[in-house]
Amino acid sequence: MPCLSCNDLRVSFRIRKKSAYAVRGVSFSVDDRATLGIVGESGCGKSVTAAAIMRLVPAPPGKIESGAILFEEKDLLTIPEKEMRGVRGRRISMVFQDPMTSLNPVFTCGDQTAEPLILHKGMDKRAAAELSMELFSEVGIAEPKRVFESYPHNLSGGMRQRVMIAMALACSPKLLIADEPTTALDVTVQARLLELLKKLQDAKDMSMILITHNLGIVAGMARHVIVMYAGELVESAPTRTLFEAPRHPYTECLLKTIPSIDKRGERLTVIPGTVPTPFEIPDGCLFHPRCPKAKDVCRKERPALHCVDERGITDNDVNADNDKHHVRCHLYV
C-alpha cells in the first residue's frame, strides 16, 4: 500500500476570464516510509501539486478540476473541509522554502511551536514548551532554550528552517511535504539539513515528498523521482534508473544543470528558453520549443506517457507501478 497516491490531478487558474491548466493530469504515488522526489524548473507546477494535496490551492483563481488523492483510505479531494483540517498539519505537514514567510516575526519561535500543541493536543503551556524544546533538540538545535526564546529574525536561515521542521514534526505526521526546503540556504547548510530530513524520516517512519528544482538534491534522498514540465509529468522512474538511463530530453537537460560542489561560483549551464506559463502552452510536445532533439512530430502531436524498459523499448501499457520507468516523448514510440 502506498502512503499516498495521486491520480490524474488537474488544477487550473482563471485569470482575466481565461482559464488554463497549471497541472495537467499528473499521477504518482509515494511509497510507505520512502521519499518521492518531484523535480522540474520553476513554474512547472510542483508547488501547485503540493498545494492540491493539502487542498490549499487558492480558489479563486485556482480550481482543482479533477483527480483523486488517496491517503489513509480517504480521497483528500472529496472529504469535507472539517475532516481535511484534521489531516492538514497533523497527518500531512509541509515545510516551505522560506521560513520567514511562514514564521510570524512578532512572536518567539517557542511561542509559535508551542501554540499548535496547546491548541490541537490540549497540552498546557509548560508541557508544550518542554515538547517544543525536545523537538528542537531532535532537529539538531544545540541550544534549544535560546532558540525557544528567540525571534525568527535573530536566527540564521538554517536555524529557522530547523525550527520549521520541528513545527512540522510536532504532530508526528505520516507524510512530510518539503517544498524546496533548502533552496534559500548555502551549500553546506543545505547538505546538513537534507541529512537531518533523511534521518528524521527514518526514525519517525514518515513518508516524504521532496520538491526541488535541483535534480542533484534528490540523488541521495529519494527512492523514486517524477520530473514535471509545464504542468505535466514527463518522466518517472526509480532514482537510480533516472540518473543512469534518463530518457526524456528535459531530464537530460536537468542533469546537465546540476550544480556540483567543486564548480561552485562558476556559471551554471542553463537550459535555453523558459518554461511556458499555463496560458502559453505550445502545440505538440510542451517541451519541443526548447528540445535539442525535437522532430517534426514533436511540433504537432502531444506525446502520451509510455512505459520503457532497460533497452528503451516502449509499451503502451502505463500502469501505476512505481518501479516502472515512464516517459512522455515521441523519441521512444
Ligand X SMILES: Nc1ncnc2c1ncn2[C@@H]1O[C@H](COP(=O)(O)OP(=O)(O)O)[C@@H](O)[C@H]1O
Residues that bind Mg ion (CB under 5 A): 47
| One of 61, 86, 220, 312 touching ligand X (CB under 6 A) | 61
Partner whose binding site includes residue 44, from Mg ion, ligand X, none (CB under 5 to 8 Å by kind): ligand X
How does DSSP classify residue 303? P
Residue 332: HSE in the Cβ half-sphere, 13 Å Cα cutoff: 25
For residue 324, give the C-alpha cell.
Answer: 516502472
State yes or no: residue 60 binds ligand X (CB under 6 A): no
Do residues 69 and 9 make contact, with C-beta atoms less than 8 angstroms apart? yes
Secondary structure of the chain: what % helix, strand, coil (to 5)? Answer: 35, 25, 40
Which of residues 48 and 206 has its CB atom nearest to ligand X in the complex? 48
Nearest by Cα to 200 from 234, 175, 236: 175
Which position among 24, 30, 39, 45 is part of the footprint of ligand X (CB under 6 A)? Answer: 45
| Given 24, 46, 326, 328, the residue binding ligand X (CB under 6 A) | 46
Site string for ligand X, 265-294 (x = CB under 6 A): ------------xx----------------
Residues 26, 28, 34: CA angle, nearest 5 degrees: 150
Residue 22 binds ligand X, judged by CB under 6 A: yes
> Half-sphere exposure of 84 toward its Cβ, with a 13 Å CA cutoff?
15
13 counts as binding ligand X under rule CB under 6 A: yes
Told to check if 40 binds ligand X by CB under 6 A, we report yes
Question: Which CB sits closer to ligand X, 62 or 152?
Answer: 62
Q: Which stretch binds ligand X (CB under 6 A): 38-46, 193-201, 243-251, 290-298?
A: 38-46
Those residues whose C-beta lies under 8 Å from the C-beta of residue 241, and which sit 6 or more positions away, are 325
- The bridge status of strand 35-39 relative to strand 224-229 is parallel
Name the segment binding ligand X (CB under 6 A); options: 26-34, 45-53, 118-126, 127-135: 45-53
Binding residues for ligand X (CB under 6 A): 13, 15, 22, 40, 42-48, 58, 61-62, 277-278
